[in-house]
């Protein structure tokens, strides 16, 4: 899994499963582009991801989470709930503005 933290007026945390980086998924009017330039940062473990997500939530970050593992970890970290999750071609994703 990869995490990349983008700094601007507000921090954006991008978390994605390693195996979907660089792919595009489309279904009806929805499209997911898992761009390496946005998502491919540091490769991290589940424990590291949970720690970073919790810390960034306290810092008022926003989150862009894509993939089975990434979504599961974000749920475990308390960042998202089942109701926040959508899917495109069975790929789960969540956008969180805290």
Residue 67, SS3 per DSSP: coil
- The predicted model scores a pTM of 0.94
Give yes or no for a contact between 16 and 92, defined as CB atoms under 8 angstroms apart.
no
Confidence at 97, pLDDT banded by 50, 70, 90: confident
Rounded to an integer, the average pLDDT of 41-57 is 96
Summarize the confidence of residues 20-29 as an average pLDDT: 96
CB atoms within 10 A of CB 34: 22
Q: 18 pLDDT band (50/70/90 cuts)?
A: very high
- Mean pLDDT computed over 39-65: 96
Q: Is the pLDDT of residue 95 over 80?
A: yes
Q: What is the SS3 assignment for 31?
A: strand
* Helix (H/G/I), strand (E/B), else coil: 11: coil
What pLDDT does 98 receive? 66
The pLDDT mean for the chain works out to 95
What the chain holds in terms of domains, given with CATH numbers, is 2-97 (3.30.1860.10)
Q: Which residue intervals of 1-98 are DSSP H helices?
A: 36-39, 46-58, 68-76
């Amino acid at each position: 899994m990869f995490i990349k933290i983008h700094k601007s007026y507000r921090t954006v945390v991008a978390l994605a499963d390693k195996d979907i980086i660089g792919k595009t998924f489309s279904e009806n009017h929805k499209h997911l582009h898992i761009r390496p330039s946005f998502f491919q940062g540091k490769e991290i473990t589940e424990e590291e991801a949970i720690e970073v997500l919790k810390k960034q939530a306290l810092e008022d970050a926003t989150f862009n989470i894509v993939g089975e593992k990434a979504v599961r970890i974000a749920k475990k970290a308390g960042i998202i709930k089942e109701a926040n999750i959508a899917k495109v071609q069975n790929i789960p994703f969540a956008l969180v503005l805290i």
